[in-house]
Chain A
Amino acid sequence: MRLFRKKSKGPSISRAEALDRIPDKNVQISEERLDSGEVVIHYPVTMRPLFAGLVKRFGGPEVQIQTKKLQLDALGTSVWALIDGKCSVRQLINSFATTHQLEPREAEVAVTQFLRELGRRGLIGIR
């Protein structure tokens, strides 16, 4: 019997498949457009149990949901505006590359990193 069995990796998808996925915005978020044109996203975050326990102990509310803000810069705002629940990641990249006269690879890295960050914060889902 092997003691240290190698963990099986989850199902992996190819790059082409990943680029064909469609990002969509979380319905629980709200957006605010600043005078500068940049977007601020308000999104709910559940407090960590340790902090939730402390807040409760000091007489805070039972349900610990905070609202956080994320202000996007001009580029982030332009990608955010492209996310409509219909365009695939590939289409977002092509559109971003064309608008900003970027190399396809450079646009791909920038857009996918940004989408990953949005996904990590729960602002978008990918289907």
Chain B
Amino acid sequence: MLNRWKEIAWYGMRFKIPADWQLSQIGVRYLSIENELGPVMEIKWAPVKGKFSHSTHLKQLSALQKRQLRKSVKPEPVSSDWAAALSDFKASEFAWQSHSTRGRGALMYCPICRNVTLIQFFQKRSNPSQAVSVDILASIRDHRSDGQILWAAYDIRALVPETYQLESYRFEAGQYELDFAEGSQHVILYRWSMASVLLDKQDLVQFAKTVASFGKAEPIAGTIDGHDMVEWSTSPVADWQRQLSRFKHKASYCWLGLWHLEAQNRILGVKAEGKKPLDTAVLDHICTHYEIV
């Protein structure tokens, strides 16, 4: 049963979906999920400022719906089949119907992290089964207590300290990129696929040189956990260079690590750059928990 589900984690929200469902749209605190017949589920969440009200927040979060539908969406008490799955939240339920689609969803408020979440399941010709929606609802987690945020989308999974905010992301065929920032320090996670094609006419060191340019410093090849890896770093050496780096616009401290997962045919990479010395413990932690699932 377990391997028929996959984990999605985005902006602090975590849940499981059936393995044959896929992410179709990714936004800031928004995910849309589809199966091969079309959209099946969407989830939106936001921190609550001030007092929580089911009707007000339902109205705000359902802003994507067409105006007529939006008016007809009213919060109702949670029905018995969803009640157990939503027991950790202050929840209400809603339903709507258009000429081609029906929707059933829940508005959930977590009193611990003060997050409000709207989740809805779309029902066209074939509905997601009742058991599936209950299992998804039961798997939803919107906060952690270890100061880390899990990011899991498509085939990547990473654990990043919550002090790092996601600045930008790119999911393109062949290349994924997630850019996290804490102040002026950036940590960028890369994933390249079809490593066999990318490394067909060049080695990992040559490939690393296409990702970043660190001036005179040369990348160092090695192995990590049995995987080929390349490490590359640069930082101001002399005292005067360190002083001068404060006034430079560009980051002076840079580090790049790339490793080749041959069995999965992927290359993973982490790049860090900042104007201050990089925290190697944080980088180690990010690299250790960055993986392909």
Task: Give A residues with C-beta under 8 Å from B.
Answer: 14-16, 19, 74-75, 100-107, 109-110, 113
Establish whether residues A105 and B36, one from each chain, have CB atoms under 8 Å apart when the complex forms: no
Nearest residue (CB) in A for B263 is: A101
Nearest residue (CB) in B for A106 is: B173
Establish whether residues A103 and B38, one from each chain, have CB atoms under 8 Å apart when the complex forms: no
Our pick among A15, A74, A75, A104 for the contact of B38 (Cβ within 8 Å) is A15
Establish whether residues A106 and B197, one from each chain, have CB atoms under 8 Å apart when the complex forms: no
Establish whether residues B23 and A101, one from each chain, have CB atoms under 8 Å apart when the complex forms: no
Report the count of interface residues on B (CB-CB < 8 A): 19
Chain A residues whose C-beta falls within 8 Å of the C-beta of B222 in the assembled complex = none
Chain B residues whose C-beta falls within 8 Å of the C-beta of A14 in the assembled complex = 38
Chain A residues whose C-beta falls within 8 Å of the C-beta of B173 in the assembled complex = 106-107, 109-110, 113
Chain A residues whose C-beta falls within 8 Å of the C-beta of B196 in the assembled complex = 100
Task: Give B residues with C-beta under 8 Å from A.
Answer: 22-24, 36-38, 154-155, 172-174, 193-194, 196-197, 200, 264-266
Establish whether residues A106 and B174, one from each chain, have CB atoms under 8 Å apart when the complex forms: yes
Known: A100-B194, A110-B174, A113-B173. A74 touches B154 (CB 8 A): no
Establish whether residues B38 and A102, one from each chain, have CB atoms under 8 Å apart when the complex forms: no
Closest beta carbon of chain A to B268's beta carbon, Å: 14
Known: A14-B38, A15-B38, A16-B37. A102 touches B193 (CB 8 A): yes
Our pick among A15, A74, A104, A106 for the contact of B193 (Cβ within 8 Å) is A106
Assembled-state Cα–Cα distance A8/B32 (Å) = 28
Establish whether residues B197 and A74, one from each chain, have CB atoms under 8 Å apart when the complex forms: yes
Establish whether residues A105 and B38, one from each chain, have CB atoms under 8 Å apart when the complex forms: no
Question: Could you list 28 A-B pairs, sorted by A, with CB under 8 Å?
Answer: A14-B38, A15-B36, A15-B38, A16-B36, A16-B37, A16-B38, A19-B36, A74-B197, A74-B200, A75-B194, A75-B197, A100-B193, A100-B194, A100-B197, A101-B264, A101-B265, A101-B266, A103-B155, A103-B193, A104-B22, A105-B22, A105-B23, A105-B24, A106-B154, A106-B193, A109-B173, A110-B174, A113-B173
